[in-house]
Amino acid sequence: MERARKVANRAILKRLVNESKQSRNGEMSSRSPVSYTPSRYVSSLSPFGSKNHSRSDSLGARNVSNNVGFSVGSQIRSISVEALKSSDTFPRRHNSATPEEQTKMAESCGFDSLDALIDATVPKAIRIDSMKFPKFDGGLTESQMIEHMKDLESKNKIFKSFIGMGYYNTHVPPVILRNIMENPAWYTQYTPYQAEISQGRLESLLNFQTMITDLTGLPMSNASLLDEGTAAAEAMAMCNNIVKGKKKTFIIANNCHPQTIDICKTRADGFDLKVVTADLKDIDYSSGDVCGVLVQYPGTEGEILDYGEFVKNAHAQGVKVVMATDLLALIMLKPPGEFGADIVVGSAQRFGVPMGYGGPHAAFLATSQEYKRMMPGRIIGVSVDSSGKPALRMAMQTREQHIRRDKATSNICTAQALLANMAAMYAVYHGPEGLKTIAQRVHGLAGAFAVGLKKLGNIEVQGLPFFDTVKVTCADAHAIADAAYKSEINLRVVDAKTITVSFDETTTLDDLDKLFKVFAGGKPVSFTAASLAPEVENAIPSGLLRHSSYLTHQIFNMYHTEHELLRYLHKLQSKDLSLCHSMIPLGSCTMKLNATTEMMPVTWPGFTDIHPFAPSEQAQGYQANIPLPRTP
């Protein structure tokens, strides 16, 4: 390093001496009345940046009708209007091939130019003569892009969300936000197709799988799916494959999230499956045509049910049971695997991944060893390298349609690896005890709310056990929701007399006090949330409490301070090839092409903290950014 500094200093000194000599020689020369020494500070976009400086005699005679002129005696220095425009354009910073290099590449393919190559490649029949956008047709510079996104963010309104339905606010640990989500050494190369250059992220995804298997109580998990709804649809397809397509009915209990039901119905058409929704007590397998059944645990309205007998009855009829669940709830609840569930799905969103108006989020699917070859998505396995040392790789890689369509177990590109890495590191950072503290606190806040509502009177609280969501029956649900709206609070209105209120990691005692004022309907509230603490009891029956251990691997019990996790993250990223090192040959097809300017708004609170089912007037920035279908 010291030698490099000395070499650089000598080079700079030599250049300054040469420039000084040239300047003196220029002053003594009688060949030109005016001589110029190009400054190293002149912009490369300026005409003065040209290598040909012998044209100085003709500058004064140049036609300057389209230029800005500066007079120095009889000499006029002109500069083009283009040179006065902002220089922080996307093409200049992100398309590194020069026009000459593009021509050379085209010539190597047998064409005179890039245009000629495109003419020979794209059929004329599918081209349009010209394309003009009604807005931003000229494109934005990077600084203009940031200003535009700030404007959109300002149009979004961040209300406190108690909507739930599978989406919850969460505290993203800054060490994870800064060193994974905002770090190109993680976000540009997250797809681990090539094991030899992916050992770091493979370890992180293995951590994700371990987290899922521990919490669900099933031995096999994939390395993430797209979201909870599509994970449920993948499980539905698995049930169909298990019975080799001989049973064409799939039942969904109506205690599942509405969006999950809708996605399964849409996807069922492609499998020629019939989806039937029913109340749990009305589910009937007597047709003999049922391949599987989907239930929610806890239910979409918060209830916690004992599915032991339900699973036994389904299995007696040859029906596979899919259980959609919540990872934070499973810290306290009996795992689905202990009920005998065949497949478990859900979202890892509340493990340190913001709501983001609906996504993206990492989902998961866990199952038994029996069905591992029917699982969708990627599976990380432990193997050995050419030296016989332990190494990781993607197992059974013929799983995705774009790799080998005829052998694929999924019809989508099935992963949210970057978000799975965030969720896994959230579990690593908090560890089993930290997660237990968060889960107990969330459950305690929900319990305090239920106690407070009973004190207010005129409101009935659901009698079934709950984890984080309290179901309330009242005289006028819309009136309460409107009052909450005025206090910048979003509640879920189930029907005219029913509201659910879901709590999360970010909820505070002050939030509870605000809710009590809303539900009091203008009447004074004689207590505070803090004063209710001694009266709050665990609302989960002992038979549904978790007794099995989880996250016992040392990786979840080592890195609980910021500097420890920071070093672990850096250790993993140093094993991988990312855009920080070179262009990436495989995977991360979009992320490696995203400019930093495009990535920055992704983590702004005005975009991250909006629930997908928030009223549309609170998401005007998003609405302006989302192309809406054109009316005929």
SS (H, E, C) 181-197: HCCHHHHCCCCCCCHHH
How confident is the model at residue 41, as a pLDDT?
35
User: In sequence order, what are the beta bridge partners of 482?
Assistant: none
Task: Give the model confidence (pLDDT) of 536-562 as tens digits.
Answer: 999 999 999 999 999 999 999 999 999
How confident is the model at residue 51, as a pLDDT?
40
C-alpha–C-alpha distance, residues 615 and 421, integer Å: 30
pLDDT at 59 over 60: no
Domains, the chain: 98-130 (no CATH), 191-427 (3.40.640.10)
Residues sharing a CB contact under 8 Å with residue 543, sequence separation 6 or more, in sequence order: 306, 334
| DSSP category for residue 273 | P
CA–CA distances in Å: residue 122 to residues 95, 155, 489:
21, 40, 52
How confident is the model at residue 364, as a pLDDT?
97
C-alpha–C-alpha distance, residues 89 and 144, integer Å: 9
φ/ψ region of 158 (left if φ > 0, alpha if ψ in -120 to 50, else beta) reads beta
Task: Give the model confidence (pLDDT) of 203-248 as tens digits.
Answer: 999 999 999 999 999 999 999 998 999 999 999 999 999 999 999 9
pLDDT at 400 over 80: no
Determine the angle formed by the axes of helices 509-520 and 477-486, rounding to 10 degrees: 130
Q: Report the chain's mean pLDDT, rounded to a whole number.
A: 87
**Confidence band (pLDDT; 50, 70, 90) for 13?**
low
Task: Give the model confidence (pLDDT) of 157-186 as tens digits.
Answer: 999 999 999 999 999 999 999 999 999 999
| DSSP category for residue 377 | S
How confident is the model at residue 189, as a pLDDT?
79
| DSSP category for residue 390 | E
| DSSP category for residue 215 | H
**Cβ atoms < 10 Å from Cβ of 54:** 9
Among 485, 508, 227, 276, which Cα is nearest to 377's?
Answer: 227
Give the alpha-carbon dihedral of 415, 419, 424, 430, to 10 degrees.
Answer: -160
Type of residue numbered 619 = A
C-alpha–C-alpha distance, residues 261 and 268, integer Å: 10
Determine the angle formed by the axes of helices 562-573 and 199-216, rounding to 10 degrees: 120
SS3 479: helix
pTM: 0.85
Higher pLDDT, 78 or 613: 613
**Cβ atoms < 10 Å from Cβ of 310:** 21
φ/ψ region of 551 (left if φ > 0, alpha if ψ in -120 to 50, else beta) reads left
| Run of H or E residues at 499 | strand 498-502
Which tokens is 95 given? 């398309």
pLDDT at 39 over 50: no
How confident is the model at residue 98, as a pLDDT?
87
Task: Give the model confidence (pLDDT) of 345-393 as tens digits.
Answer: 999 999 999 999 998 999 999 999 999 989 988 899 999 999 999 999 9
How long, in residues, is the chain? 632
Strands 492-495 and 498-502, sheet pairing = antiparallel
Among 436, 450, 456, 431, which Cα is nearest to 555's?
Answer: 431
In the chain, what is the straight-line distance between the N-terminal and C-terminal CA atoms, in Å? 66
Q: 534-562 burial, b for 16+ CB within 10 Å, e for fewer? A: eebeebbeeebebeeebbeeebbeebeee
* C-beta of residue 261 within 8 angstroms of C-beta of residue 228: no
* C-beta of residue 618 within 8 angstroms of C-beta of residue 156: yes
How confident is the model at residue 302, as a pLDDT?
97
Backbone angles phi, psi at 418, to 5 degrees: -60, -45
Backbone angles phi, psi at 582, to 5 degrees: -170, 180
Strands 363-367 and 220-221, sheet pairing = antiparallel
User: In sequence order, what are the beta bridge partners of 75?
Assistant: 72
pLDDT at 53 over 70: no
φ/ψ region of 231 (left if φ > 0, alpha if ψ in -120 to 50, else beta) reads alpha
C-alpha–C-alpha distance, residues 382 and 53, integer Å: 63
How confident is the model at residue 632, as a pLDDT?
44
| Run of H or E residues at 77 | strand 75-80
How confident is the model at residue 526, as a pLDDT?
95
Give me the helices (H) in 278-414, please: 308-316, 327-330, 336-339
SS3 36: coil
**Confidence band (pLDDT; 50, 70, 90) for 85?**
confident
Percentage of residues of the chain with pLDDT beyond 90 = 69
SS3 622: helix
Higher pLDDT, 270 or 397: 270
Task: Give the model confidence (pLDDT) of 255-275 as tens digits.
Answer: 999 999 999 999 999 889 999
CA–CA distances in Å: residue 5 to residues 19, 88, 140:
21, 30, 39
Task: Give the model confidence (pLDDT) of 89-148 as tens digits.
Answer: 888 888 888 889 999 999 999 999 989 999 999 998 898 888 888 778 888 999 999 999
C-alpha–C-alpha distance, residues 113 and 136, integer Å: 28
* C-beta of residue 453 within 8 angstroms of C-beta of residue 583: no
C-alpha–C-alpha distance, residues 135 and 161, integer Å: 33
| DSSP category for residue 15 | H
Mean pLDDT of 419-423: 96
Handedness of CA 378, 380, 381, 387 (dihedral sign): positive
